[in-house]
Protein backbone atom coordinates (compact mmCIF):
# COMPACT_ATOMS: atom_id res chain seq x y z
CA UNK A 1 0.00 0.00 0.00
CA UNK A 2 1.23 3.50 -0.75
CA UNK A 3 1.74 6.28 1.74
CA UNK A 4 -1.26 8.46 2.57
CA UNK A 5 -1.64 11.83 0.86
CA UNK A 6 -3.70 14.92 1.45
CA UNK A 7 -6.73 14.24 -0.75
CA UNK A 8 -7.51 17.96 -0.83
CA UNK A 9 -4.23 18.78 -2.56
CA UNK A 10 -4.50 18.69 -6.34
CA UNK A 11 -0.72 18.38 -6.92
CA UNK A 12 -0.52 15.43 -4.51
CA UNK A 13 -3.46 13.71 -6.20
CA UNK A 14 -2.01 14.21 -9.67
CA UNK A 15 1.48 13.06 -8.70
CA UNK A 16 0.24 9.95 -6.90
CA UNK A 17 -2.02 8.95 -9.77
CA UNK A 18 0.70 9.61 -12.37
CA UNK A 19 3.15 7.49 -10.37
CA UNK A 20 0.62 4.65 -10.15
CA UNK A 21 0.14 4.39 -13.94
CA UNK A 22 3.19 2.18 -14.71
CA UNK A 23 2.26 -0.49 -12.18
CA UNK A 24 -1.39 -0.49 -13.25
CA UNK A 25 -0.51 -0.86 -16.93
CA UNK A 26 2.04 -3.53 -16.08
CA UNK A 27 -0.78 -5.54 -14.52
CA UNK A 28 -2.69 -5.02 -17.79
CA UNK A 29 0.15 -6.58 -19.76
CA UNK A 30 1.98 -3.48 -20.98
CA UNK A 31 5.72 -2.90 -20.79
CA UNK A 32 6.76 0.72 -20.27
CA UNK A 33 8.73 2.44 -23.01
CA UNK A 34 11.28 5.09 -22.05
CA UNK A 35 11.99 6.56 -25.52
CA UNK A 36 10.63 10.02 -24.69
CA UNK A 37 12.46 10.18 -21.37
CA UNK A 38 15.70 8.95 -22.94
CA UNK A 39 15.49 11.55 -25.71
CA UNK A 40 14.86 14.28 -23.17
CA UNK A 41 17.84 13.14 -21.12
CA UNK A 42 20.13 13.06 -24.15
CA UNK A 43 19.20 16.63 -25.09
CA UNK A 44 19.57 17.80 -21.48
CA UNK A 45 22.96 16.17 -21.01
CA UNK A 46 24.10 17.63 -24.34
CA UNK A 47 23.20 21.10 -23.08
CA UNK A 48 25.19 20.48 -19.89
CA UNK A 49 28.15 19.17 -21.90
CA UNK A 50 28.22 22.29 -24.09
CA UNK A 51 28.09 24.50 -21.00
CA UNK A 52 30.93 22.49 -19.40
CA UNK A 53 33.11 22.78 -22.50
CA UNK A 54 32.47 26.51 -22.57
CA UNK A 55 33.51 26.80 -18.95
CA UNK A 56 36.72 24.82 -19.52
CA UNK A 57 37.66 26.90 -22.58
CA UNK A 58 37.08 30.05 -20.58
CA UNK A 59 39.43 28.79 -17.86
CA UNK A 60 42.18 27.40 -20.13
CA UNK A 61 42.36 29.96 -22.95
CA UNK A 62 42.58 33.71 -23.14
CA UNK A 63 39.48 35.63 -24.20
CA UNK A 64 40.73 36.36 -27.71
CA UNK A 65 41.79 32.74 -28.27
CA UNK A 66 38.47 31.29 -27.18
CA UNK A 67 36.15 33.85 -28.78
CA UNK A 68 35.40 31.87 -31.96
CA UNK A 69 34.88 28.65 -29.97
CA UNK A 70 32.62 30.45 -27.50
CA UNK A 71 30.46 31.82 -30.31
CA UNK A 72 30.06 28.32 -31.73
CA UNK A 73 29.27 26.90 -28.30
CA UNK A 74 26.70 29.63 -27.57
CA UNK A 75 25.00 28.93 -30.91
CA UNK A 76 25.01 25.20 -30.16
CA UNK A 77 23.66 25.85 -26.66
CA UNK A 78 20.84 27.98 -28.08
CA UNK A 79 20.03 25.32 -30.69
CA UNK A 80 19.91 22.52 -28.10
CA UNK A 81 17.82 24.65 -25.73
CA UNK A 82 15.38 25.33 -28.56
CA UNK A 83 15.21 21.61 -29.30
CA UNK A 84 14.54 20.90 -25.63
CA UNK A 85 11.73 23.46 -25.51
CA UNK A 86 10.19 22.12 -28.75
CA UNK A 87 10.41 18.55 -27.48
CA UNK A 88 8.66 19.42 -24.21
CA UNK A 89 5.98 21.55 -25.84
CA UNK A 90 5.11 19.62 -29.00
CA UNK A 91 6.50 16.10 -28.85
CA UNK A 92 6.07 15.06 -25.23
CA UNK A 93 2.87 17.11 -24.72
CA UNK A 94 2.10 15.90 -21.20
CA UNK A 95 2.58 12.20 -21.90
CA UNK A 96 2.89 10.42 -18.56
CA UNK A 97 3.13 6.85 -19.79
CA UNK A 98 4.17 5.05 -22.98
CA UNK A 99 3.84 1.31 -23.19
CA UNK A 100 3.34 -1.61 -25.50
CA UNK A 101 1.94 -5.09 -25.33
CA UNK A 102 2.25 -7.91 -27.81
CA UNK A 103 -0.20 -6.39 -30.28
CA UNK A 104 -0.43 -2.64 -29.60
CA UNK A 105 1.24 0.43 -28.21
CA UNK A 106 -0.40 3.15 -26.13
CA UNK A 107 0.46 6.54 -24.73
CA UNK A 108 -1.33 8.12 -21.80
CA UNK A 109 -1.73 11.87 -21.36
CA UNK A 110 -3.04 13.11 -18.04
CA UNK A 111 -4.22 16.49 -16.90
CA UNK A 112 -5.68 17.86 -13.71
CA UNK A 113 -6.94 21.40 -13.36
CA UNK A 114 -6.01 23.44 -10.32
CA UNK A 115 -8.56 23.13 -7.50
CA UNK A 116 -10.31 20.24 -9.26
CA UNK A 117 -10.61 16.58 -8.38
CA UNK A 118 -11.16 15.49 -11.98
CA UNK A 119 -8.20 13.50 -13.28
CA UNK A 120 -8.50 13.66 -17.06
CA UNK A 121 -6.93 10.69 -18.82
CA UNK A 122 -6.48 10.40 -22.59
CA UNK A 123 -5.34 7.05 -23.92
CA UNK A 124 -4.02 7.00 -27.50
CA UNK A 125 -3.16 3.84 -29.37
CA UNK A 126 -0.79 3.26 -32.25
CA UNK A 127 -3.63 3.28 -34.78
CA UNK A 128 -4.64 6.86 -34.01
CA UNK A 129 -7.67 6.07 -31.86
CA UNK A 130 -8.09 7.74 -28.51
CA UNK A 131 -10.44 7.86 -25.57
CA UNK A 132 -10.69 10.62 -23.00
CA UNK A 133 -12.28 10.10 -19.61
CA UNK A 134 -12.44 11.83 -16.27
CA UNK A 135 -11.75 10.01 -13.05
CA UNK A 136 -13.00 11.57 -9.85
CA UNK A 137 -9.98 11.26 -7.60
CA UNK A 138 -12.06 10.54 -4.52
CA UNK A 139 -13.26 7.29 -6.11
CA UNK A 140 -9.79 5.70 -6.00
CA UNK A 141 -8.62 7.13 -2.66
CA UNK A 142 -10.03 6.12 0.69
CA UNK A 143 -10.83 8.49 3.56
CA UNK A 144 -7.35 8.16 5.05
CA UNK A 145 -5.70 9.23 1.77
CA UNK A 146 -4.44 5.85 0.56
CA UNK A 147 -4.63 5.03 -3.13
CA UNK A 148 -6.71 1.93 -3.81
CA UNK A 149 -4.74 0.41 -6.66
CA UNK A 150 -7.37 -2.20 -7.52
CA UNK A 151 -9.99 0.47 -8.21
CA UNK A 152 -7.56 2.41 -10.40
CA UNK A 153 -6.64 -0.82 -12.22
CA UNK A 154 -10.31 -1.64 -12.91
CA UNK A 155 -11.00 1.90 -14.11
CA UNK A 156 -8.05 1.82 -16.52
CA UNK A 157 -9.07 -1.64 -17.71
CA UNK A 158 -12.54 -0.26 -18.54
CA UNK A 159 -10.95 2.64 -20.47
CA UNK A 160 -8.81 0.21 -22.51
CA UNK A 161 -11.90 -1.91 -23.23
CA UNK A 162 -13.69 1.22 -24.46
CA UNK A 163 -10.73 1.94 -26.74
CA UNK A 164 -10.90 -1.58 -28.15
CA UNK A 165 -14.67 -1.25 -28.70
CA UNK A 166 -14.02 1.95 -30.68
CA UNK A 167 -11.90 -0.14 -33.03
CA UNK A 168 -14.77 -2.52 -33.77
pLDDT given at position 128: 86
Same domain, 88 and 110: no
pLDDT given at position 102: 85
Same domain, 108 and 154: yes
pLDDT given at position 140: 93
pLDDT given at position 164: 80
- Does 5 fall in a domain? no
Enter the pTM of the model.
0.84
pLDDT tens for 122-141 read 999 988 889 999 999 889 99
Kindly tell me if the per-residue pLDDT of 168 is higher than 70.
no
Same domain, 20 and 41: no
Same domain, 23 and 64: no
- Does 162 fall in a domain? yes
Same domain, 24 and 48: no
Work out the mean pLDDT of the chain and round it to a whole number.
92
Half-sphere exposure of 138 (CA within 13 A, CB side): 6
pLDDT given at position 46: 98
Same domain, 25 and 52: no
Same domain, 162 and 124: yes
Confidence of residue 74 (pLDDT cuts 50, 70, 90): very high
- Does 43 fall in a domain? yes
Confidence of residue 165 (pLDDT cuts 50, 70, 90): confident
Q: Which of 73, 92, 111 is the last residue of a domain?
A: 92
Boundaries of domain holding 75: 37-92
Same domain, 123 and 154: yes
Asked if 44 and 60 count as a contact pair (C-beta separation under 8 A), the reply is no
SS (H, E, C) the chain: CCCCCCCCCHHHHHHHHHHHHHHHHHHCCCEECCHHHHHHHHHHHHHHHHHHHHHHHHHHCCHHHHHHHHHHHHHHHHHHHHHHHHHHHHHHCCEEEEEECCCCEEEEEEEECCCCCEEEEEEEECCCCEEEEEEEHHHCECCCCCECHHHHHHHHHHHHHHHHHHHC
Q: Which of 92, 109, 137 is the last residue of a domain?
A: 92
pLDDT given at position 3: 84
**157/134 Cα distance (integer angstroms):** 14
Confidence of residue 44 (pLDDT cuts 50, 70, 90): very high
Same domain, 160 and 108: yes
Structural domains counted in the chain: 2
Same domain, 124 and 87: no
- Does 130 fall in a domain? yes
- Does 4 fall in a domain? no
- Does 1 fall in a domain? no
Confidence of residue 116 (pLDDT cuts 50, 70, 90): confident
Same domain, 22 and 42: no
Q: Tell me the average pLDDT across 19-44.
A: 96
pLDDT given at position 1: 53
Amino acid sequence: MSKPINVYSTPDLRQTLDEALPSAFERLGYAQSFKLIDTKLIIGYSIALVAGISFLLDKKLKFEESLLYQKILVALYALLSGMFWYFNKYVEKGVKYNGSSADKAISVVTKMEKYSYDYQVTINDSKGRSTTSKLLANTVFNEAGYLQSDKLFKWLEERLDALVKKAN
